[in-house]
Each structure stands twice: as structure tokens, then as C-alpha cells.
Amino acid sequence: MKARPGTALSRWRALLGLLWRAGRGRAALFGVLVLAAGVLPTAVILLTGALVEAIPGAVQHGLGSAAGRPALRALGGLGLAIAALVLAGNALAYLRAVLDAAFAGEAHRSVAAVTLGLPGLAQLEDPAFGDELEAVQDAERRGVLRQTLLHLSTVATARLRGGGAFVVLLGWSWWAPLVLAAAWWLTNRVFLQALEKGAAVAMNDGAALTRRAEYLRSLAMDPAAAKEVRVFGLADWLVGRYADAWAEVLALLWKSRTASRGLTAAAAAALLASHAAVLGALALAAGRGDVEVAALLVLVQAVIATSDLGIVGDAQWWLTRSLGVAERVAGLRARLAAPPPQPGAPAPTPKAPLALRHAPGRYT
């Protein structure tokens, strides 16, 4: 039986719980640095607009005049904001590397506590329990655990930048940021659904089928088994089984990735229409003189920055996998809190491994 994924809230609770146990002080500092790295870009946009607005007065009357002092203040604020952004980024890069190692260590400790703390061997012999453990180990082999904080900070700072751009646009028009945010929300939901489905397939059915393909490959590559394969003339048979196994994995992954093509096209059309509407309205307002050059510069940058409300790319894919691993670790920890089986209770009926249940006759 494969694990059923829980809600997004339960996955986030599991991930943040692991992070908090990995180091409370460092986790709190990580949150502060992510907030700074996400908010400061909006400050840079606003200060750039203030500087552009103040330049004509400074050029006409001089920097020492009353008309020139706003330019000096805007330039000083812009320099401080950029410096703070660079410092926050460097500190965040160091801290997330440390926290990634601590996060992976906490996940390992949690899994070890489960495997060593369970009463008896009944649960350890359960194929479903073995699948859960193997899914966590597979994620570790692929580097998921040691990149969790890197991708979490990437996604979080992007969302904060997008939220700042939303607020800036809201100061110009109530409808413009709502239209853009709705289009990016739709795009992001389609992308996230595809990611979650792909991650679930990769860590459940796909993981079991991948392990079977890797097992067949090991029969052809490991010296001990390879000798017998060649002696008995099983090379062609083994290559055929290996090819079939990988084809089944790829077919499963491809099916999960192509299930929402219609929604993807609709989201792309919504993005195109929303940006055309907002930028067209800005152009008309600037042509009428309702928006000055400095404000136009700020607003156009804000329109571009709303893209951070949408797809972040590979970081979202890896973060989705990290959320799935954290959920599994939390589920394994919950087994320690479950009451032990009562003496004399009937043992659960053993079930065939997932790979064999989905592919009868593959090993014969």
C-alpha cells in the first residue's frame, strides 16, 4: 500500500517542524534573512523612482539646494538598500548551507529513531513501511534533503518580491494587481498540480518501478550475477526486461506530465491577456499625462516583478519533493506514538512489493 499524500498544510507543517528541530535559533535567523532578501528589492524599485523624480530639480538648482536634497536622500537610501540586499543575500547563502546539512541530519535522526524504536519486527517487515523508508533514502541519494533550504529560500524570496510588486501596483490602480495576480495564481496552480503529481508518482509507483529497473541493471553489471547471466545465455532476456522496466517508468512519468495540457494553455492565455491589459492601461495613462516618467518606471518594474507570484522553476520542483519527504518522515515518526500491537493479535497479511503488484510476470 503506498502512502497517500496529505494536504499542503500538513506537508508544510512537517517540513517546518523538521527545520525547527534542526536548530531553532538558526531557523529564526533564516526567516529574518529571507524576509529582508524578499522585501528589499521592492524598496530598491521605489527608491529608483524617487531618484529619477528628483534628478531634474537637482540638475536645475544644484545638489546643495532645497530641490537637490531629495535626490541626495534617494541616492543614499538606494545605496543603503542595495548594500543591505547584498549582505542579506550573502548571509542567507551561508546560513542555508549550514541549515541544509542540519535539516538532512534531523531527517536521518528521525528515521533512525523510528527504525530502532519500534517494538518488535512486525512493522519493519511490512512492505508498505519498507516503501516509505526507501522513498526517503532515494530522496537522500538524489540530493533532495541537502537542498531543501536553498530552494525554500528561493521560493520564499520570490513570493515576497511578488507581494511587494502587488502593493506598489495597488497604489496606482486597484484592478491591475488583482488581474495580474489572478493570472499568475492560475499559472502557478497548474504548475504546482503538475509538480505534486509528478513528485507523487516519482516517490511512489515511479520509485518502486525505478528500483526494479535498477535491480535488473545490477544483475547485468555486478560481477557475481553477470557471470551467471552470461553462462546461462540470459543476456538478451535481461536486456529486454531492463528496457521494458524503464519504458514503464517513462510512460508513467510522461502520463503524469501531460495530464493538464488544456489548463496549461488556458493559463498562458490568461497571462498574455492580463499583461496586455495592464501595460496597455499604463501606456494610455502615460499618454494622457496622468502618470509621470518616474512613476511609469516604477510601475513597469512592478508589472515585471509580479512574475515572482508565478512559477519559480526548478526550485519549486525540488521544494515539492522536499515537502513530500518531510511528510513521510513525519508519518514515520507518528508510528512511534502509535500503540504497539496487542499480543495474540492476528498478523497483517503480507502483501507483494509494489513493483511486483504492478507488473505481474516481469521476473519470470
Q: What per-residue confidence (pLDDT) applies to 178?
A: 95
What is the Cα–Cα distance from 317 to 143, expressed in whole angstroms? 13
Q: What are phi and psi of 79, to 5 degrees?
A: -65, -45
In which band, very low, low, confident or very high, does the pLDDT at 221 lie, cut at 50, 70 and 90? confident
Answer with the residue of higher pLDDT: 224 or 27.
27
Q: What per-residue confidence (pLDDT) applies to 120?
A: 62
Q: What per-residue confidence (pLDDT) applies to 341?
A: 53
In which band, very low, low, confident or very high, does the pLDDT at 277 lie, cut at 50, 70 and 90? very high
Give the mean pLDDT of 282-298.
Answer: 93
Give the mean pLDDT of 247-263.
Answer: 70
Res. 251: pLDDT tops 50: yes
C-alpha grid cell, residue 210: 525505478
Q: What per-residue confidence (pLDDT) applies to 350?
A: 44
- The answer to whether the CB of 271 falls within 8 A of the CB of 184 is yes
Rg of the Cα trace of the chain?
Answer: 27
Answer with the residue of higher pLDDT: 118 or 182.
182
In which band, very low, low, confident or very high, does the pLDDT at 355 lie, cut at 50, 70 and 90? very low
Q: Which residue type, as a one-letter code, is found at position 97? A: A
Res. 164: pLDDT tops 90: yes
Q: What per-residue confidence (pLDDT) applies to 336?
A: 64
pLDDT digit string, tens, across residues 186-201: 888 887 777 666 655 5
In which band, very low, low, confident or very high, does the pLDDT at 215 lie, cut at 50, 70 and 90? confident
Res. 227: pLDDT tops 60: yes
In which band, very low, low, confident or very high, does the pLDDT at 337 lie, cut at 50, 70 and 90? low
Answer with the residue of higher pLDDT: 332 or 48.
48
What is the Cα–Cα distance from 165 to 42, expressed in whole angstroms? 7
Lowest mean pLDDT among 95-104, 228-237, 290-299: 228-237
For residue 33, the SS3 value is helix
Give the mean pLDDT of 150-164.
Answer: 95
Q: What per-residue confidence (pLDDT) applies to 259?
A: 60
Which residue shows C-alpha cell 541626495?
A: 72
Mean pLDDT over all residues of the chain?
Answer: 81
In which band, very low, low, confident or very high, does the pLDDT at 354 lie, cut at 50, 70 and 90? very low
Q: What per-residue confidence (pLDDT) applies to 239?
A: 78
Res. 73: pLDDT tops 60: yes
Answer with the residue of higher pLDDT: 54 or 338.
54
Domain ranges of the chain: 6-172+312-338, 173-290
Res. 306: pLDDT tops 50: yes
Percentage with pLDDT > 90 across the chain: 43
Give the mean pLDDT of 306-321.
Answer: 88
- The answer to whether the CB of 211 falls within 8 A of the CB of 355 is yes
Res. 346: pLDDT tops 70: no
- The answer to whether the CB of 170 falls within 8 A of the CB of 352 is no
Please write down the long-range contacts of 220-224, taking CB distance under 8 Å and 24 or more positions apart: none
pLDDT digit string, tens, across residues 24-70: 999 999 999 999 999 999 999 999 999 999 998 888 888 888 888 89
In which band, very low, low, confident or very high, does the pLDDT at 247 lie, cut at 50, 70 and 90? confident
C-alpha grid cell, residue 31: 526567516
Res. 339: pLDDT tops 60: no
C-alpha grid cell, residue 149: 533550504
> Angle at Cα 104 formed by Cα 100 and Cα 106, nearest 5°?
115
Give the mean pLDDT of 240-261.
Answer: 72
